[in-house]
Amino acid sequence: MKEDFKTLLLKTLPLPEANDLYESLQSNPTISLRINPKKTNLVPKNSNKVAHCNSAYYLEERPVFTADPAFHAGVYYVQEANSMWIGRVFEHLRSLIAESVVVLDLCAAPGGKTTHLSSLMQDSDLLVANEVISSRKNILAENVSKWGDGNTWVCSADPVQFGNLGPLFDMVFCDAPCSGEGMFRKDLNAQQEWSLENIALCSSRQQRIVSDSWNCLKDGGYFIYSTCTFNTSENEENVNFICDSLGGELVDVSKIDPSGVLYCLKEYQYRCFPHRSTGEGLFFAVIRKNISTSKPIKNKAQQIEIKKSDINGFSYVGFRSKNWLVPNYHLQCLNLLCLLPGLFHVGTLFGDVFKGKWKPHPAIALLAIESSLPLVELNDQEAMAYLRREFLPKKSSQRGVVIMRWFEFNIGISNSINNGLNNLWPMEWRVRNQFLCNTVFPR
């Protein structure tokens, strides 16, 4: 690590804390994952519980996740353990609000925080996940589809476009792009790219992101600011900027940490350190918007088509020339479809019409609800062949759309025709190597 980083660390933290942190950054990173509670209650092999997240586990060693069909089926998400504290924050804040909430995950890709929040939401809550970088938006939508909660819409827009909407969201989560000091153990590139100049650039960008989006938060709503870095410029100083310049006050959420793992340089601003907990670096603070400076919401004419209602609690919605399954709880939010900038994914993609025929999407098999479609059981070899998007031999007399099932999990769909199973796994999701099947779960 660069000498400038160690010097800055010594300026930021008390000497014993800085030395312990610096030493911990020389050790190996931890490996953790979070189980999808709607799809399984299995415990991974050779794992230990993450204390601050009921559905998460540390693994003793890193497996080849790409070789696990359960990974592709959204049965678990590989996520850094300390970042899961954001889920604890959401649970606490959600308990303070009686009504349903609309939540924005402003910098969402690749989807760890998004899938975590979606698992913790109540049925009537809606999550909007946004990723401004075009090259990253598709992996976000893919992970949302595989997770299968159906309660998340995906946008690709600049934060200022949300700010222009007016006060729409009860909570905004902003895991701001940062210098990445907290990821030094996991990412050597983060060490090589680190510089004092980059810290200044990140700090300025973070202030712009928050300032541009602030207007989309309701008065009294909660803005959750987080980074995975250690310096004060991107953390405490930016939180002070938000409170002083934009009109907010810090919220005490210390009750989420009865064991005292979290560390504070300043009151109500929380840090996770790898020498204090089993995980990487994280900073977060909760800011309540307390000054009414919001501009009114801009209205647009609705252009939404609801094709049929009450299908296992979902409705067909026509949007962007595709058919989507949207929970009936969210029909009251359909006016948002014409408001949200860059919106391209709504609930669960049901499929579209291609050359006059319905082409279903595998997301309907990965949705965490019961399905009436017939099942086709796959062995390990067949499951990996399916994920490589290969044509499979016919396994039953069943014709038409069938769900591919491996072990205990739905992993996708195929069209059963005369001579085999026409693979409908999306081309952009396919596994490109000849991995032997192996799963994190005991069998």
The residues annotated as belonging to the active site are: 228
Look up residue 253 and give its two tokens.
């959420």
The upper half-sphere exposure of residue 220, i.e. CA atoms within 13 Å in the direction of its Cβ, equals 3
User: In whole angstroms, what is the distance from residue 209 CA to residue 163 CA?
Assistant: 10
User: In whole angstroms, what is the distance from residue 179 CA to residue 249 CA?
Assistant: 25
The upper half-sphere exposure of residue 175, i.e. CA atoms within 13 Å in the direction of its Cβ, equals 23
Contact 212, 165 (CB under 8 A): no
Contact 304, 247 (CB under 8 A): no
Residue linked to tokens 């025929």:
357
- Give the closest residue to 217 by CA, choosing from 295, 285, 100, 158: 295
Query: What's the residue count for the chain?
Result: 443
- Give the closest residue to 138 by CA, choosing from 428, 432, 430, 431: 428
- Give the closest residue to 323 by CA, choosing from 348, 343, 301, 344: 348
Pairing of strands 102-105, 169-175: parallel
Beta bridge partners of 377: 405
The upper half-sphere exposure of residue 256, i.e. CA atoms within 13 Å in the direction of its Cβ, equals 24
User: In whole angstroms, what is the distance from residue 3 CA to residue 198 CA?
Assistant: 15
Q: Determine whether 61 is exposed, middle or buried from the number of CB atoms within 10 Å of its CB (0-12, 13-18, 19+).
A: exposed
Q: H/E element holding 404? A: strand 400-406
For CA atoms 179, 182, 187, 188, the dihedral sign is: positive
Q: How distant is the alpha carbon of residue 373 from its chain centre?
A: 28
Residue linked to tokens 């060490």:
191
Beta bridge partners of 48: 58
User: In whole angstroms, what is the distance from residue 427 CA to residue 175 CA?
Assistant: 30
C-alpha dist (Å) from residue 280 to 108, 217, 241, 434: 19, 29, 25, 32
Report helix, strand or coil for 286. Answer: strand
Contact 115, 83 (CB under 8 A): no
